[in-house]
Amino acid sequence: MYNCYCLFISLFYYISLVHADEDNWIFPDGFLIGAATSAYQIEGAWNTSDKGESVWDRFTHADSGRIEDGSNGDVAADSFHRYKEDVQLLKQLGVDFYRFSLSWTRILPTGYANVISKVGIKYYHDLLDELEKNDIKPFVTIYHWDHPQLFQDMGGWASEAMVDLFGDYARVVFKEYGHRVKFFFTINEPDVICETGYYLGIKAPGLQLGRYGQYVCAHNLLKAHARAYHIYNEEFRAQQKGKIGIVIHSHYYYSKYGNDTVSEDVAWQFAFGKYAHPIFSKEGDYPDSIKRRIAENSKFEGLLRSRLPTFSREWVDYIKGTSDVLGFNHYNSYNVEPILGSNKTIYENDDGLVYTHDPKWPKTPTSWLRIVPSGLLDNLRKIKDNYGDIEVYITENGIADTGELTDTQRMGYLYSYMKAMLTAIKTFGCNVKAYTVWSLLDNFEWQNGYKERYGLFHVDFTDENRTRSPKKSVPWLTNVIKTRNLQPPMDGP
Ligand SMILES: *[C@@H]1O[C@H](CO)[C@@H](O)[C@H](O)[C@H]1NC(C)=O
Ligand SMILES: *[C@@H]1O[C@H](CO)[C@@H](O)[C@H](O)[C@H]1NC(C)=O
Ligand SMILES: *[C@@H]1O[C@H](CO)[C@@H](O)[C@H](O)[C@H]1NC(C)=O
Ligand SMILES: *[C@@H]1O[C@H](CO)[C@@H](O)[C@H](O)[C@H]1NC(C)=O
């Protein structure tokens, strides 16, 4: 009798635990789920009608061996002609929203705001019409890396002239589309632009300008973002009533040694805080930790001033608070450990850190991308710790395959990362409002060409029709979106 009662109690307890556990994987009311792409990666039609040349057109056409498979985005997924198919894919998934970007040189062929392309403007209106018909909200990224080549010839993001030029472009976007777009993102992943485009030179415009060039780029991007925000705020918000923010990405960084209490934060501040702190913190400006390291290093190397540019008080105030929401992209984590400076410097690469992967973290086809779901949870908690309860929209998350339709690894990845996100929301009170899979469909993956495929839908790039086919994750994800319940994929994570 006693045993039986006990069994009954434990069974009851077990059932309620399982039940509680199930409840944890239900998405909060009003939570938005979507999929993302960007203009250069999917549109093609690079020289249709009056479209101007972008840095990505120039970079890929240079045929300099920097694109792994020698390919380019001239046709890509041909979404310029096939956007209606794309919207049907979104419809099939049942997403709440579609995050896509606008091509600056399709809308403004010369880059300047005085010549507006009728064809370019119409293309995005047609796409918006199609989304509206299918009840899918547009999340519009104004700039996802494809600025006009002419402006690059003037220095690109190494030049402060871009602040006004970007503001003028953003104003055209708000004027044309703001009455029907309620979510704008100004700039996608500023750190990728500056690190890979102006420091490493592996993405357009392919420059290696040293750390100073990288920081000047960051400085101008922050100013340009703030300019666009203020234009929206002052000239459009009252009528259009939308939200506007920036998209910043971060890996998570784990100190390799338990006795190292600083590296985790230093790495995070260098990658993420550099952009987030000036916008989202109470005091504004760059984080102290990175200002200090860069200044010490610059002095040691005999520079007359820090190679991290300084914001005037006016600019600190102008940039502070310029995002209604944080767009957050996340994929991967690193271990970090301090590295001894050489005799030329104190902190190697200014941050003084070495980045490695734990060999236990599962690999994916992308060399830098390992599967570490806790990295998303820890980022969301750190964002809350640093900036309070700001609204966070996860604007990208996903992994690549190499062309197969049976994307078992992707299902496991998305499942485990969404689980980490729901834990952040339900257990730690993180204010996450949306989740976005990168990407809707296979596309031009920058320097990796068409070798790494991030799509939920496969695209046959050898077929003139660029035929789209659902991968195995599509029915699973469709069901998650429909039921608002994160069920594990059949094959398990
Ligand atoms: C557009 O670019 C393609 C190469 O992608 C080229 O074959 C074609 O001639 C160009 N069209 C125009 C109108 O310049
Ligand atoms: C921390 O631990 C590592 C590895 O055990 C060791 O090499 C290092 O000297 C320690 N550092 C400090 C500051 O104790
Ligand atoms: C700095 O280190 C390099 C390489 O280790 C060495 O060749 C050089 O002599 C050193 N310079 C000074 C000033 O110590
Ligand atoms: C592409 O689509 C067109 C129009 O539907 C069709 O006539 C053509 O056969 C298709 N091409 C291929 C390779 O499937």
Which ligand minimizes its atom distance to the CA of 342?
Answer: 3
At residue 383, φ and ψ (nearest 5 deg) are: -60, -45
Look at the chain and report how many structural domains it folds into. 1
- Which of helix, strand or coil describes residue 96? coil
Given the structure tokens 């929401």, which residue do they identify? 325
- Look up residue 74 and give its two tokens: 């001239």
Among this protein's residues, is 445 annotated catalytic?
A: no
pLDDT at 491: 59
The strand pairing partners of 138, in sequence order, are 98
Q: Is residue 186 one of the residues assigned to a domain?
A: yes
CA dist., res. 483 & res. 477, Å (int): 10
Its pTM stands at 0.94
- Tell me, in angstroms, the distance from the centre of ligand 1 to residue 80's CA: 15
Amino acid code (one letter) for 364: T
Tens of pLDDT, residues 310-319: 999 999 999 9
Q: Is residue 99 one of the residues assigned to a domain?
A: yes
If one compares 16 and 386, the residue with the highest pLDDT of the two is 386
Tens of pLDDT, residues 112-124: 999 999 999 999 9
Task: Name the active-site residue from 176, 396, 445, 452.
Answer: 396
* Mutational pocket test of ligand 4: of 78, 462, 464, 466, the residue with most ligand atoms within 8 Å of the beta carbon: 464
Q: Is residue 423 one of the residues assigned to a domain?
A: yes
Mean pLDDT of 188-215: 98
Which CATH number characterizes residue 139's domain?
3.20.20.80
Tens of pLDDT, residues 207-243: 999 999 999 999 999 999 999 999 999 999 999 999 9
Which residues constitute the domain of residue 197?
Answer: 5-483
Q: Is residue 296 one of the residues assigned to a domain?
A: yes
Tens of pLDDT, residues 146-162: 999 999 999 999 999 99
pLDDT at 23: 67
Q: Is residue 347 one of the residues assigned to a domain?
A: yes
CA dist., res. 45 & res. 223, Å (int): 31
CA distances from 114 to 109, 151, 229, 231 (A): 10, 15, 21, 17
Task: Name the active-site residue from 189, 264, 445, 452.
Answer: 189
Residue 259 scores a pLDDT above 90? yes
Who lines ligand 4 at CB under 6 A?
463-465
pLDDT bin (cut points 50, 70, 90) of residue 1 is: very low
Report the relative pairing of strands 97-101 and 325-329 from DSSP bridges.
unpaired
Q: Is residue 493 one of the residues assigned to a domain?
A: no
Atom of ligand 1 at shortest range from CA of 74:
5
Mean pLDDT of 459-478: 98
pLDDT at 22: 61
Tens of pLDDT, residues 329-361: 999 999 999 998 788 899 999 999 999 999 999
Q: Is residue 492 one of the residues assigned to a domain?
A: no
Among this protein's residues, is 396 annotated catalytic?
A: yes
Given the structure tokens 């991007």, which residue do they identify? 221
Which ligand minimizes its atom distance to the CA of 344?
Answer: 3
- Tell me, in angstroms, the distance from the centre of ligand 3 to residue 417's CA: 46
pLDDT at 21: 63
Q: Is residue 419 one of the residues assigned to a domain?
A: yes
